[in-house]
Every structure is written in structure tokens, then in C-alpha cells.
């Protein structure tokens, strides 16, 4: 008997709202999530005098544990690193070069995302403007804006598809171009994210 290959997706009610958070997710690999974030940082950083903090979240799901490093039970429930290398090729390095004041990388199991994000949030001033690359954080936090980047060829991440219906903005991209919607994203005077225009 063949076992199902599609992961079981649990939809959780978002626990709390953070209007200063923008989450960018994607329905496929290499669809342009990081490129979209870098363009948003470049466009909006001057609106906050350069004070935008970027975060990349890598969530490890129970059915993916074999593919994600250490399984030591004594390993901390999440790992948070601050990126300082502007010259590297990692996504976090690109975010720094785009103009983010600080950039962090958070790695944790799916079940630990909410406490991990709360811990991350405590190290920043309350009104800090944050832009985050993640397909998971919006399950736990209601961001000021949720942007989903998708490919013209369709979707291949079952866990990401559910976000399309509630995204504030869906962007179709080939991975490096097709981002005219960047101009629709802005910040209000408090640093909260807003969507303008049609």
C-alpha cells in the first residue's frame, strides 16, 4: 500500500498581530522571495531613516527532520544568529547590502516559531519595522502585511498554498523580475506596513 506523500497541513489561528511586521512567503523554491525583500528594503529604508530589521526564518517540520542537521535532544529549541557579513552570497548578506540596519537568521522547529519570534522581538525596540522571509511565521503572527510570491508555472509547496487566499498581495515572479508591486508597499509614520493603490 502506497503511503501519502503530501504532508498533512494544520491551519492554526494567528495568535497576535504585529503591524510593524511584513512577511514575504513563496509557493516554490527560487521564486524570488529574497529578491522581493531586498527591493522592499531598498525602497522603504529611507522612510525609516534606514531603520528596517530583516529576519529569515527556517522552520523544520517533523516530517523533514532527517534533512535538517542535528537531532540532539539537548540542542536549544531555536537558534538565532545575527548576520554581519555584507560581502557573502547568503540571503541574509543580500538583505544587509540592500540597506537593512540589522539582519537575523532564525532556525527552529515549526512548533517553536512563536516563542522564538517573541524572544527575537524582545531584543528590538517595540516599534521596530521588520521584514521577514518565512512561509511559517504568518501561521502564528498576524503581520501588518502578508506578501506571497508565486511562480507562473504553478505552486509546489503544499504548506504555502493556504496563505495565498489571505495574502494582502500576491506577486507573480520568475525569480528575478516582475516586481512592479514593490511600489504599492509603504510605511506609515509609526513604521507600520501599508499597502497603497490597486
* Amino acid 165: pLDDT: 85
Answer whether residue 145 is part of any domain: yes
Answer whether residue 71 is part of any domain: yes
For residue 108, the enclosing domain spans: 17-195
3-state secondary structure of 151: strand
| pLDDT tens per residue across span 149-173 | 988 876 667 777 788 888 999 998 8
Alpha carbons 84 and 78: distance in angstroms, whole number: 20
Average pLDDT for 72-85: 76
Does residue 53 or residue 78 have the better pLDDT?
Answer: 53
CATH number at residue 191: 3.40.50
Answer whether residue 160 is part of any domain: yes
Domain count across the chain? 1
Q: Which of 10-24, 99-113, 145-159 has the lowest mean pLDDT?
A: 10-24
Helix (H) or strand (E) holding 147: strand 141-150
Answer whether residue 12 is part of any domain: no
Answer whether residue 46 is part of any domain: yes
Answer whether residue 21 is part of any domain: yes
What share of the chain in percent tops pLDDT 90? 56
Answer whether residue 1 is part of any domain: no
* Amino acid 9: pLDDT: 41
Residue 24 above 50 pLDDT?
Answer: yes
Grid coordinates given for 44: 522603504
Answer whether residue 4 is part of any domain: no
| pLDDT tens per residue across span 28-70 | 888 899 999 999 999 998 887 668 999 999 987 544 443 334 4
Other beta carbons within 10 angstroms of residue 107's beta carbon come to: 17
Amino acid at each position: 500500500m502506497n503511503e501519502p506523500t503530501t504532508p498533512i497541513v494544520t491551519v492554526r489561528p494567528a495568535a497576535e498581530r504585529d503591524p510593524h511586521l511584513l512577511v514575504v512567503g513563496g509557493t516554490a523554491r527560487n521564486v524570488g522571495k529574497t529578491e522581493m525583500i531586498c527591493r522592499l528594503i531598498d525602497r522603504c529604508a529611507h522612510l525609516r531613516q534606514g531603520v528596517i530589521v530583516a529576519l529569515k526564518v527556517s522552520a523544520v517540520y517533523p516530517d523533514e527532520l532527517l534533512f535538517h542537521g542535528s537531532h540532539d535532544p539537548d540542542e536549544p529549541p531555536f537558534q538565532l544568529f545575527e548576520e554581519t557579513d555584507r560581502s557573502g552570497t547568503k540571503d541574509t548578506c543580500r538583505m544587509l547590502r540592500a540597506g537593512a540596519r540589522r539582519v537575523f537568521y532564525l532556525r527552529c522547529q515549526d512548533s517553536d516559531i512563536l516563542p522564538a519570534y517573541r524572544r527575537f522581538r524582545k531584543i528590538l525596540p517595540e516599534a521596530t519595522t521588520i521584514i521577514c522571509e518565512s512561509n511559517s511565521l504568518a501561521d502564528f503572527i498576524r503581520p501588518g502585511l502578508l506578501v506571497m510570491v508565486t511562480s507562473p508555472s504553478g505552486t509546489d509547496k503544499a504548506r504555502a498554498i493556504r496563505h495565498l487566499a489571505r495574502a494582502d498581495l500576491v506577486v507573480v515572479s520568475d525569480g528575478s523580475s516582475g516586481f512592479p508591486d514593490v511600489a504599492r508597499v509603504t510605511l506609515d509614520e509609526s513604521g507600520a506596513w501599508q499597502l497603497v493603490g490597486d
